Amino acid sequence: MSARNDLTQARLHWRTRLIAANLHPPSGFHALAPAVHRGSTVVFDRLAEAVDDWQQKDRYTYGLYGTPTTLELGLRIAALDQSYHCFVAPGGQAALALVNLAYCRAGSHVLIPESAYGPTVEMGEDLLGGLGIHVERYHPLIGAGIVAMIRPDTSLIWCESPGSITMEVQDVPAIAAAARTRGVAVALDNTYAAGVLFDAFAHGVDISVQALTKYVGGHSDLLLGAVSVAHEGAYAAVGRAYRLMGMAVSPDDCAMAIRGLQTLGVRLDRLEQSTLEVARWLQARPEVATVLHPALPDCPGHAIWTRDFTGSASVFSIVLADDWTAERTARFVDGLRLFRIGFSWGGATSLVMAYPDLARLDGRRERLVRLNVGLEEPVDLIEDLGQALERA
Ligand SMILES: *Cc1c(COP(=O)(O)O)cnc(C)c1O
């Protein structure tokens, strides 16, 4: 123990001893669960060691740049998705914002798919637009055709596969290959795949983002995001923005996410099976026109899913038959008992949401319903869907 820790032995006032006494790092306690290390200030033994450098991977400098718990989560995700490094952000949306600010300047041009997560589209139009960044949307099934949209000032291309709500599976390898010929970075929102069902880096992506809120958390009780980077260049770009934006994360939430990682494999397997069972049942129902599930043939980009993914997840959409009105769709949603009405997905509870006001759904918006299958027995979920369809 250093001389500074011996302060507790000195003849100090009890108020001073209250403060100086808590520097006892645990040793010899080898629990399987990660310790929750809280800390903003990190103290140094000598002034010369007090380096405020976020890139010092082998030491701690300030809680904002990592505690043993927050860095442990990042290390485990990086080991899982085989990235160069993983930055942990306060949520999925924060992770998306971090990548935008790392790569864009006034005058930058950014391409995002029409099927992107709603708040990321709004971020582009509102905040980024206000900073003089031009965000342009492209058709999610554009594939290699993206090359025609790349301009000299294009600084970032976003992919999200499958797309939010409409579930288009993108040809990410073709987009990444086109971007590489023009030296443009490609970032992927890989939340659906939980960072594991689609190997972002083997398919040429520079930055893979996921909302840990969904499958890694897995229990609807935390908000966190991850930004995994493929190489040193992306590490330097994202790391700089990470530090300057002050992306603090809670060590408690990180410990919960580490716990979630331990059961991610079994949960994803079970969710895939249950979801396919429910989706196939819906496919056979006369009330349902289309099932938008990447593993089923009606989903746009299904062949790409078969080529590039190693599994499917728990979220998918259905389009009800042509004669369904918004009122009837709402009666169906309201009539469900086990599927709870709520945003987000990836937790233990089945969820349902409709989007009657979402303009990009054009002719389908009155009839499109998104479902997230949870860990209930599929037989009960199917019965619930059956009774709600009949009552509607
Ligand atoms: C939920 C979600 C996000 C945002 O994650 P939060 O943790 O809720 O901020 C981003 N992208 C996708 C595809 C999502 O589903």
Residue-wise pLDDT tens digits, 166-181: 999 999 999 999 999 9
How many angstroms separate the alpha carbon of residue 209 from the centre of ligand 1? 10
Residue 288 sits in the same domain as residue 315: yes
Task: Indicate if ligand 1 lies below 6 Å from the C-beta of 92.
Answer: yes
**Residues 101, 241: contact at Cβ < 8 Å?**
yes
pLDDT, tens digit, for every residue of 288-322? 999 999 999 999 999 999 999 999 999 999 999 99
Q: Which domain holds residue 288?
A: 264-391
pLDDT (mean) for 108-137:
96
- Tell me what percent of the residues of the chain surpass a pLDDT of 70: 95
Residue 281 lies in a domain: yes
How many angstroms separate the alpha carbon of residue 215 from the centre of ligand 1? 11
Residue 228 sits in the same domain as residue 376: no
Task: Indicate if ligand 1 lies below 6 Å from the C-beta of 260.
Answer: no
Residue 20 lies in a domain: no
Pocket test for ligand 1, best of 99, 117, 209 (most atoms within 8 A of CB): 117
Q: Is the pLDDT of residue 382 over 90?
A: yes
Residue 26 lies in a domain: no
Omega before residue 162 within 30° of 0, cis: yes
**Residues 226, 98: contact at Cβ < 8 Å?**
no
Interacting residues of 47 by C-beta distance below 8 A, sequence separation 6+: none
Interacting residues of 65 by C-beta distance below 8 A, sequence separation 6+: 54, 243
How many angstroms separate the alpha carbon of residue 343 from the centre of ligand 1? 10
Residue 386 sits in the same domain as residue 283: yes
C-alpha span between 16 and 7 (Å, rounded): 10
Task: Indicate if ligand 1 lies below 6 Å from the C-beta of 189.
Answer: yes
Say what the pLDDT of residue 6 is.
58
Residue 251 sits in the same domain as residue 275: no
| 297: Cα separation from own chain's centroid | 25
Helix runs in the chain, H state only = 14-20, 68-81, 92-103, 118-123, 129-130, 172-181, 232-245, 251-283, 302-308, 326-335, 378-391
Boundary of a domain, candidates 206, 224, 258: 258
pLDDT, tens digit, for every residue of 246-276? 999 999 999 999 999 999 999 999 999 999 9
Residue 349 sits in the same domain as residue 368: yes
**Residues 102, 245: contact at Cβ < 8 Å?**
no
Residue 334 lies in a domain: yes
Tell me whether strands 288-292 and 315-320 are parallel, antiparallel or unpaired: antiparallel
Tell me whether strands 225-229 and 207-211 are parallel, antiparallel or unpaired: antiparallel
Sheet of 109-113: strand order equals 85-89, 225-229, 207-211, 185-189, 154-160, 109-113, 134-138
Q: Judge if pTM exceeds 0.85.
A: yes
Tell me, what DSSP letter sits at residue 124?
Answer: I
Task: Indicate if ligand 1 lies below 6 Å from the C-beta of 223.
Answer: yes
Residue 288 sits in the same domain as residue 251: no
Alpha carbon of 279 to those of 174, 288, 385: distances in Å? 29, 10, 11
Q: Indicate which CATH number applies to the domain containing 73.
A: 3.40.640.10
List the single range of 131-140, 358-367, 368-377 with lowest mean pLDDT. 358-367
Say what the pLDDT of residue 10 is.
66
Residue 235 sits in the same domain as residue 339: no
How many angstroms separate the alpha carbon of residue 298 from the centre of ligand 1? 25
pLDDT band at residue 20, thresholds of 50, 70 and 90? Answer: confident
Residue 286 lies in a domain: yes
Pocket test for ligand 1, best of 161, 213, 250 (most atoms within 8 A of CB): 213
Residue 373 sits in the same domain as residue 241: no
pLDDT (mean) for 174-199:
98
Say what the pLDDT of residue 7 is.
56
C-alpha span between 160 and 116 (Å, rounded): 6
C-alpha span between 349 and 372 (Å, rounded): 8
Task: Indicate if ligand 1 lies below 6 Å from the C-beta of 346.
Answer: no
Q: Ramachandran region of residue 350, left (φ > 0), alpha (ψ -120 to 50) or beta?
A: beta
Closest CA to 198 of 169, 218, 225: 169
